[in-house]
Chains A and B, each alone.
Chain A
């Protein structure tokens, strides 16, 4: 990485766990129980977060919440601009989504384009009764009229900043960090 970049810690492991506990409770409230709830994580860290939220709900309410994973690469609107992604992750959805309450889980909400793509993709798999959105971090900077139902932490970041969510399963440790004006 060229140049010195300023990294500021926003959330530590403990704060992430507490945020996920709050998110789990709010998801159960939003779906009116767990009967119709399906958690769908967006590759890659959204999938890990959905797993953790599923485990938290199971610990509190009992019962397994069906979980799925979406890779939205093929639904992006910028193939011409950014070129193909090196490797596309797995998409798997647990059965028919008709009539379910699907909660999309992602690490960071930024422009809203990923969520737009995820909504398109879910529509190809069925017609849920409701689709909600839960994110660990909302960093602002929306380019589309999309808002999250449930937010772990709001972080006012500038356009050139990067918000990194690090998770033990993927990155070896839990942290949320703000990287100021990072050159990419």
Chain B
């Protein structure tokens, strides 16, 4: 048996290539579950999962919720507004109160980098990071990897360029870790103001012009430009950004080869991506959304059963095949 995942999924940085492959391979059979007339398996029956979202999210929260329900877990959604968090309760107190109600897992999104680890070290339940500040968004990184692997049959040796706001993006960070661990050649492209300093130390190529990135890459992962960045002065205007960095049909047509386009959503059409690209044959954006449910099912399944000491004890108690 390959290396288990351990108690939590906090990011792709702490995982080995083997562990990442285990999650992707486990996601494969879960794709089929969502294609059935009865989209449900009893695997996590009796487990209680709390989705603790301190930041707004539609896609990720719904995707986790589908994953949980299709595994027959019981789920509770807790948001920051309208909960005790608004009354000033600390994160640890919130989590401990939930744990006192005998939950098994927490899926958490939080505006602070490192919040997932902070929580994981203080509660016994499994913790899945659904995005913490600008740190990591591991399940998004995993679903991007799965989507790329679906299309090319491999990750190793592919040229993947992550475009846009690298500086503030947890999606970018999880992508860079996952892609480099699985042996892809990785580049980034975006305005200087939105690239982290010393990004080259990450071992990635930096493109200043989107045309160069398009000519080089097999895959573009086009990040969402967070509109509040414009007010903060990182870019002059949205129109200017589209003119210089927009992934347009004309730019893709000018490349000497076909590209595959990913976007983690929600898209700003006409800012980072041309509508004709988003809806065109290059795009695997909806495939990403479908794969997101399968990847999250795989993560929940692996964490739920991933108590190696329990597994060992049980194995000693039973012998023989079947």
State the A residues within 8 Å of B (CB). Answer: 71, 73-76, 78-84, 86-92, 108-111, 113-114, 120-121, 124-125, 141, 157, 159-164, 182, 184
Q: Is the pair A110, B320 in contact by a Cβ cutoff of 8 Å?
A: yes
Within the assembled complex, what's the spacing in Å between the Cα atoms of A81 and B305? 8
If A71-B29, A74-B42 touch, whether A84 touches B322 (CB-CB below 8 Å) is no
**A64 to chain B: closest CB distance in Å?**
23
Stretch binding the partner chain, chosen from B228-236, B277-285, B311-319: B311-319
Q: Tell me the chain B residues, 1-32 only, with Cβ under 8 Å from chain A.
A: 1-2, 4, 22, 25-26, 28-30, 32
B191 at the interface (CB under 8 A from A): no
Within the assembled complex, what's the spacing in Å between the Cα atoms of A76 and B22? 20
Q: Is the pair A161, B36 in contact by a Cβ cutoff of 8 Å?
A: no
Q: Is the pair B311, A164 in contact by a Cβ cutoff of 8 Å?
A: no
If A84-B306, A125-B38 touch, whether A79 touches B26 (CB-CB below 8 Å) is no
Q: Is the pair A79, B304 in contact by a Cβ cutoff of 8 Å?
A: yes
What A residues does B71 contact at CB under 8 A?
Answer: 74
**B17 to chain A: closest CB distance in Å?**
15
Residue among B22, B29, B38, B302 having the largest count of chain A Cβ atoms under 10 Å = B29
Q: Is the pair A92, B38 in contact by a Cβ cutoff of 8 Å?
A: no
**B225 to chain A: closest CB distance in Å?**
38
Q: Is the pair A83, B306 in contact by a Cβ cutoff of 8 Å?
A: yes
B216 at the interface (CB under 8 A from A): no
- By Cβ-Cβ distance, the 3 closest A-B pairs, closest first, are A83-B311, A81-B314, A84-B305
Q: Is the pair A91, B32 in contact by a Cβ cutoff of 8 Å?
A: yes
Q: Is the pair B42, A86 in contact by a Cβ cutoff of 8 Å?
A: no
Q: Is the pair A83, B305 in contact by a Cβ cutoff of 8 Å?
A: yes
Within the assembled complex, what's the spacing in Å between the Cα atoms of A77 and B300? 16
Q: Which of these, A71, A87, A108, A121, contacts B321 with CB under 8 Å?
A: A108
What A residues does B322 contact at CB under 8 A?
Answer: 108-111, 113-114
Q: Mark B284-306, 1 if CB is under 8 A from A, else 0.
A: 00000000000000000110111
Q: Is the pair A83, B41 in contact by a Cβ cutoff of 8 Å?
A: no
Within the assembled complex, what's the spacing in Å between the Cα atoms of A111 and B308? 23
What B residues does A141 contact at CB under 8 A?
Answer: 320
**A177 to chain B: closest CB distance in Å?**
11
Q: Which of these, B32, B44, B314, B319, contacts A92 with CB under 8 Å?
A: B32
**B21 to chain A: closest CB distance in Å?**
10
**A106 to chain B: closest CB distance in Å?**
9
Q: Tell me the chain B residues, 253-292 only, with Cβ under 8 Å from chain A.
A: none
Residue among A75, A78, A79, A91 having the largest count of chain B Cβ atoms under 10 Å = A79
Q: Which residue of B lies closest to A165 (CB)?
A: B321
If A124-B38, A125-B38 touch, whether A83 touches B4 (CB-CB below 8 Å) is yes
Q: Mark B138-158, 1 if CB is under 8 A from A, else 0.
A: 000000000000000000000
If A111-B322, A160-B320 touch, whether A75 touches B314 (CB-CB below 8 Å) is no
Within the assembled complex, what's the spacing in Å between the Cα atoms of A109 and B320? 11
B57 at the interface (CB under 8 A from A): no
If A110-B322, A120-B42, A163-B321 touch, whether A83 touches B310 (CB-CB below 8 Å) is yes
Q: Which residue of A lies closest to B314 (CB)?
A: A81
What A residues does B41 contact at CB under 8 A?
Answer: 74-75, 121, 124
Q: Tell me the chain B residues, 37-53 only, with Cβ under 8 Å from chain A.
A: 37-38, 40-44
Other A-B pairs beyond A80-B305, A82-B311, A84-B301, 7, CB < 8 Å: A74-B41, A74-B43, A78-B314, A82-B305, A83-B306, A109-B322, A184-B320
B244 at the interface (CB under 8 A from A): no
If A82-B305, A82-B315, A83-B307 touch, whether A88 touches B321 (CB-CB below 8 Å) is no
Q: Is the pair A81, B310 in contact by a Cβ cutoff of 8 Å?
A: yes
Within the assembled complex, what's the spacing in Å between the Cα atoms of A74 and B301? 9
A/B interface sample: 26 pairs, CB < 8 A: A73-B29, A74-B29, A74-B43, A75-B41, A75-B42, A79-B43, A79-B304, A80-B314, A81-B311, A82-B311, A84-B306, A86-B2, A87-B26, A88-B28, A88-B29, A92-B32, A108-B321, A110-B322, A113-B322, A121-B41, A124-B36, A125-B37, A159-B319, A160-B319, A162-B319, A182-B319
